[in-house]
Structure 1
Amino acid sequence: MKSSENAPKIYVGTYGMYNSGSLFGKWFDLTDYADAKEFYQDCYEYHRNEFDPELMFQDWENIPDFLISECSLDDKVFEYFQARDEMDDDTAKAFKLYCEQISNWPSNGKSIDEQAESFQESYRGYFGGSMMDAKVEYAYQYVDETGMLANASSVLERYFDYEAFARDLFSDGYTGRRVCIG
């Protein structure tokens, strides 16, 4: 997992303490653990003063909501962070959106490797930096990558309307989420 500044952290208390009027708990940094089993062992060890503590995740930072709730942490969270850490920041943000909003991972049943492969097949990059309109920026890349105008004369290429092509492209099934328009 990347920097400690952006490290995924969970404040873990227990329902027993909460119901007794106490928010007693501790922040756990997930970068300190190799897997969910190790994390849970440490949580239960910390709350060993209670008989059969029921863990309560009272707060969290830098963990996508689709992987955590007040009463559960998805076991695949460590795989997710490992896959995400192999990506640059813009790609990692797009991967989060893809998992959360497009492919509904981890409930879609795919392994993290299948999810990452599916993402890589769909992801076309981050657009929104060098031109005024990110969709037009993508249209330029699309035309270049597909070789759409490769056999056209330079005179004809100058008259190609990238703005109109971008409008048509995005009205015909492409989405900003799929392409990650900024």
Structure 2
Amino acid sequence: MATNIDITEANVYVGTYAKYNNGSIFGKWLKLSDYADRGEFYEACAELHSDEEDPEYMFQDYENIPKGLIGESWISENIFEVLEALNNLDENTLEAFLIWCDNDHKDLSRSDASELLEDFENDYVGQYDSDEDFARELIDQREDLSDFAKQYFDYASYANDLFCGSYWSEDGHVFYN
């Protein structure tokens, strides 16, 4: 699940259900970085669709927004907080964070961004070329095994045992269970 999400380019295409139901997909792409918070974003939506008395916004498409922060008819209350926190991560760490959220079923829309990042940092071990490379690193760190013993060590079996219990991985990123 390699990610190409660029948080600074988070965009939402905002239409309304009334227009859609009347055969129109009129709307506009709004760049979230142009708004300080969710309230300001909704003010822009209201201005865009000022021809409707009480518009029901329809987020018909979006780009560079992690799943769990937006749906067709809703946008998370903490989307700006989460996007700001994610913007401070480097590309590799962001990729690992999104994998972790997807696999650990973290609810981005309801979680405090700083708590999410703290939990992630506690669970994330690092990136490796393979599960066996991770197992090899763990064994290499052990001082109670001689180099002679390490040369005969079954790293593949050890990796299999590690990832059946204490760890999980995806796209080379390793996490504690």
TM-score range (shorter-chain normalised) is 0.7 to 0.9
Counterpart of 2:22 in structure 1 is: 20
State the secondary structure of the residue aligned to 1:125: strand
Residue pair 1:98, 1:178 contacting (<8 A) in 2 also: no
Q: Deviations over 1:111-169 (max 9, x none)?
A: 111111110110112223xxxxx11121123334xx3x213222223222222211111
Moved over 6 A (4+): none
Give the Cα–Cα distance (whole angstroms) in 2 for the partners of residues 168 and 51 of structure 1. 61
1:160 aligns with 2:157: no
Residue pair 2:59, 2:72 contacting (<8 A) in 1 also: yes
Counterpart of 2:144 in structure 1 is: 151
State the secondary structure of the residue aligned to 1:10: strand
Please state how far the C-alpha of 1:106 moved relative to its aligned partner.
3.2
State the secondary structure of the residue aligned to 2:125: coil
Give the Cα–Cα distance (whole angstroms) in 2 for the partners of residues 142 and 47 of structure 1. 58
User: What are the equivalent positions in structure 2 for 1:92-111 lying under 5 Å apart?
Assistant: 92-106=94-108, 110-111=111-112
Q: Deviations over 1:1-42 (max 9, x none)?
A: x958x7111100111111111111000111212211111111
Give the Cα–Cα distance (whole angstroms) in 2 for the partners of residues 68 and 39 of structure 1. 13
Give the Cα–Cα distance (whole angstroms) in 1 for the partners of residues 76 and 111 of structure 2. 14
Residue pair 1:97, 1:177 contacting (<8 A) in 2 also: yes
**Aligned CA distance change for structure 1 residues 94 and 3 (closer, same or farther; 3 Å):** closer
Q: Which amino acid aligns with 1:44?
A: A
**Aligned CA distance change for structure 1 residues 141 and 77 (closer, same or farther; 3 Å):** farther
Q: Pairwise CA RMSD of aligned residues?
A: 2.3
1:37 to 36, 39, 54: 39
State the secondary structure of the residue aligned to 1:175: strand
State the secondary structure of the residue aligned to 2:167: coil
**Aligned CA distance change for structure 1 residues 91 and 47 (closer, same or farther; 3 Å):** same
Count the aligned residue pairs: 170
Residue pair 2:82, 2:108 contacting (<8 A) in 1 also: no
Counterpart of 1:131 in structure 2 is: none
| Same amino acid, percent of matched pairs | 38
Q: Which amino acid aligns with 1:23?
A: I
Q: Flag structure 1 segments of 5+ consecutive residues without an equivalent.
A: 129-133
Residue pair 1:124, 1:179 contacting (<8 A) in 2 also: no
Give the Cα–Cα distance (whole angstroms) in 1 for the partners of residues 135 and 33 of structure 2. 39
Give the Cα–Cα distance (whole angstroms) in 1 for the partners of residues 119 and 6 of structure 2. 26
Please state how far the C-alpha of 1:177 moved relative to its aligned partner.
4.3
**Aligned CA distance change for structure 1 residues 179 and 105 (closer, same or farther; 3 Å):** farther
1:142 aligns with 2:138: yes
Q: Name the structure where strand makes up a greater proportion of residues.
A: 2
Please state how far the C-alpha of 1:173 moved relative to its aligned partner.
3.9
Counterpart of 1:122 in structure 2 is: 123
